[in-house]
Amino acid sequence: MDVAVCFLLGVLFAVQGLKVKFSRYNQSSLNSNSSGPMNAVDGNVLSSSITKNGANEFWWGEFDRPHKISSMFVVVGKGKQRIFVSYGKTDRPSHMCAEIVTPLGYDFINMNVTCNQALEGNTVTVRRVGNGSLVLNEIIPIECLENTHSFSCISCPPNCINGCSAVDGTCNDCKKGQFGRMCHRDCHHVCSDGTCDRNEGRCSQENVIIAVVFSLCLVFIVVSVIGFLIKR
């Protein structure tokens, strides 16, 4: 347990993004074996915030200002938990960062979570699904800087323009002459406008120009032949 947790903490400290701190926190109920919701944000993964054994128990923490969260470091106990980011407590699917299921036979799971999409808000809510006690050892939200992505806040691919997805690094657009999800492939042909189809690498613009030029050449040939025949 200690080795796994230490390894993940080492990875966490290598992250380039902002480790967002909570200014307030609370939980739906308090188990007598826990000193309260602050245990989930005290930097000690061996202490835990524990609710009573109930239905859909939850923990929530509030930032001092809004942040755009794309990933988190989480240590959580048994069961299925869902993590949300929004303005205020919520359980709306559109605000869900991720769902975590602790494998059978394990008392807890520690993991680096990448959200399904970057979510903006001032509150993180962790909800246990169904009956049981919510056990939350630690949660650290990560806000990546602009033009970075994934849990470690890696720089966007070099051929991206207008940034990339904070979740998986997919380029919003490509530099001229490049295509593909990460803009890492060269266009198949030299296109007239220096670009090509984002997915296939074809030059749709070039094809139109070639067709027009070919048609004009064909018209010129036909007119020339007709003129020659008339003169005869």
Number of domains in the chain: 2
Same domain, 171 and 109: no
* Domain end marker among 104, 128, 147: 147
User: Which of 112, 147, 182 is a domain's end point?
Assistant: 147
165 and 122 within one domain: no
Q: Domain holding 59: CATH number?
A: 2.60.120.260
Instruction: End-to-end CA distance of the chain: give it in Å, rounded.
Output: 98
pLDDT single digits (tens) 124-155: 999 999 999 999 999 999 998 889 988 888 99
- Domain shared by 47 and 111, yes or no: yes
Q: Which of 147, 177, 212 is the last residue of a domain?
A: 147
Say what the pTM is.
0.73
Residues 27 and 67 in one domain: yes
**Structure confidence at residue 97 (pLDDT):** 96
User: pLDDT 10s digit of each residue in the chain, 232 long?
Assistant: 444 454 445 444 445 678 999 999 999 999 987 789 999 999 999 999 999 999 999 999 999 999 999 999 999 999 999 999 999 999 999 999 999 999 999 999 999 999 988 999 999 999 999 999 999 999 999 998 889 988 888 999 999 999 998 888 999 999 988 999 999 999 877 677 777 888 888 875 555 555 456 566 766 676 666 766 676 6
Can you say whether residue 38 is alpha, beta or left, with left for phi > 0 and alpha for psi between -120 and 50 degrees? alpha
* 180 in the same domain as 128: no
Give kind and range of the element (H or E) at residue 127. strand 108-128
For residue 72, the enclosing domain spans 2-147
